[in-house]
Amino acid sequence: MITGASGFLGGHLCQQAQKKWEVIGAYHSNKTIPADILAVQIDLADRRTLVEILNEANPAVIIHAAVLQVDACEHDPLLGHMINIEATRTIAGWCAQHRRRLIYISSDLVFDGSLSWYKETDTPQPIMRYGENKLWAEKAALEACHDACVARLPLMYGFPVAGGSNFFMSMIPSLQRSERVRVFSDQYRTPGLVNNMAEAVLELAESDFKGVIHIAGTQRCSREEMARSICRLMGFDENLLEPVSMFEIKMPAPRPQEVSLDSSLAQKILKTRLIGYDEGVSMCMLSRNRATIVNNSREKVYF
């Protein structure tokens, strides 16, 4: 079972997992599930119904990728607590009781941005409600299910196969229309190609690894640096990029400035080869003709 199956990562997890397993894709309101996936609607805030569905489905493995996103957690802290923390506790407890494998998908945003190349042993210190939710959910998962695996993932990019969006898909239509795109010049991540991240997570699901592990791209970059790489590889005009400081843009939730992840542990124990953004963007360009990317939105997106 994959929760958040209608989302960006969840869709890719479902698509890849169905090549090998019988997959149940759990969604809340958007039934944008990849074809041939058994879809089940779940309200993660409803604990009793959640347990009933788990009992009926009885999955051997649960990849818990569903989440209430960053700004939504700021707007509705109570809902964020129910969806991100309490639902994780319930799922982890069920997995422990039934001796099932649990992979909990966490985030690089559990860190405060004061360091670089964060390791699994570095102390998380979130600066936003979402990061706090993810950290408490990590603890809930590992406390309730001692054999669980917490996989911290980075900012992701690529083409969605179900629902969800990402900065990659948001900026390309604007560049195609020769519109200027604002990009942060001073925020650093280790962005991961969503296909690559999904492959690594699915390998973890088959492993016996337990505890916390970082899965991320192998190149650290600012958003501006990655945007320029996208322009070069996809033939867009770099002059359309407008570098701005992340501190100039007011957002509902504060963001850490530096949350690059050290994924050396994952590269040691997994067969899946993690890649950097240069290679990842090249793979995106080869996999789909960029002229087919359609987005009529005129909303400004800060990449």
- State the CB neighbour count (10 A cutoff) for residue 146: 11
pLDDT at 26: 96
Amino acid at 174: S
Please tell me the class of the 2-156+192-214 domain.
alpha beta
How far apart, in whole angstroms, are the C-alpha atoms of residue 255 and residue 253? 6
**What's the pLDDT at 144?**
97
pTM: 0.93
Domain spans of the chain, in order of start? 2-156+192-214, 159-190+220-259+277-292
CB-neighbour burial class of residue 254 (10 A; exposed 0-12, middle 13-18, buried 19+): middle
- What is the structure's pLDDT at 170? 83
Question: How far lies 145's CA from each of 66, 87, 142, in Å?
Answer: 18, 13, 5
- For residue 56, give every residue at least 6 positions away whose Cβ sits within 8 Å of its Cβ, in sequence order, or none: none
Instruction: Give the per-residue pLDDT at 293.
Output: 41
Residue 103 near residue 204 (C-beta atoms within 8 A): yes
Expressed in percent and rounded to 5, the helix, strand and coil fractions of the chain are: 45, 15, 40
| Two tokens, residue 171 | 């900026």
**pLDDT score for 288:** 59
DSSP 151-198: EEE--EES--SSS---HHHHHHHHHHTT--EEEESS-EE--EEHHHHH
3-state secondary structure of 262: coil
Fold of 159-190+220-259+277-292: UDP-galactose 4-epimerase; domain 1 (3.90.25)
Q: Residue-wise pLDDT tens for the chain (303 aa)?
A: 999 999 999 999 999 999 999 999 999 988 888 778 999 999 999 999 999 999 999 999 999 999 999 999 999 999 999 999 999 999 999 999 999 999 999 999 999 999 999 999 999 999 999 999 999 999 999 999 999 999 999 999 998 888 777 788 888 889 999 999 999 999 999 999 999 999 999 999 999 999 999 999 999 999 999 999 999 988 899 999 999 999 999 999 999 999 999 999 999 999 999 999 999 999 988 875 543 443 333 333 333
